[in-house]
Amino acid sequence: MKTIGEAINQKQFKSEHQKAHINLMYTASHLNLLSNAAVKKFELTLPQFNILRILRGMHPEPGSIKELTERMIDQRSNASRLVDKLLAKKWVERKHCPEDRRQVNIKITKKGLQVVEKASQEIENLGDNFFSNLTKKELQILNNLLDKVRK
């Protein structure tokens, strides 16, 4: 197992803050590459997978584009464009809200549920493997530290 210094061939860091920053970005990038490869098998991108995951969690209720955007991991993603791509694959359906014709409801289809189940299993396996060298207690500490950093 390489340290961050070994991984990027850097002997010294300006500070522990800089080292932590680079280490977190490097690790996130590595996990992102692996995650992209895992969902690509299902003709999905990570943002599309995220939309399907959110809709699965809301199922059988629909969600609005606004709700999807608020709940996405990367909120800079264009949820409307992502939904259009999922519509083309028949993994979601779009319907106008009966109470407010301006609002569009997005609902996951049976086919979408099947795809997100399979892709979720791949992502869970990836996560189990990626973090396998940490104990449950270390994972709890890591989660607490990451939450604390974002505050």
Q: pLDDT, tens digit, for every residue of 28-42?
A: 999 999 999 999 999
Q: What is the CATH number of the domain that holds 48?
A: 1.10.10.10
Q: pLDDT, tens digit, for every residue of 39-48?
A: 999 999 999 9
Q: Is the pTM of this model over 0.95?
A: no
83 in a structural domain: yes
Q: What is the mean pLDDT of the chain?
A: 94
Closest CA to 48 of 83, 80, 92: 83
Q: pLDDT, tens digit, for every residue of 53-109?
A: 999 999 999 999 999 999 999 888 899 999 999 999 999 999 877 777 777 899 999
What phi and psi values does residue 9 have, to the nearest 5 degrees? 55, 50
State how many domains the chain has: 1
92 in a structural domain: yes
37 in a structural domain: yes
74 in a structural domain: yes
145 in a structural domain: no
1 in a structural domain: no
Residue 120 belongs to domain spanning: 14-125
Q: Which DSSP string corresponds to 85-107?
A: HHHHTTSEEEEE-SS-TT-EEEE
23 in a structural domain: yes
142 in a structural domain: no
Instruction: Identify whether the C-beta of residue 72 lies closer than 8 Å to the C-beta of residue 79.
Output: yes
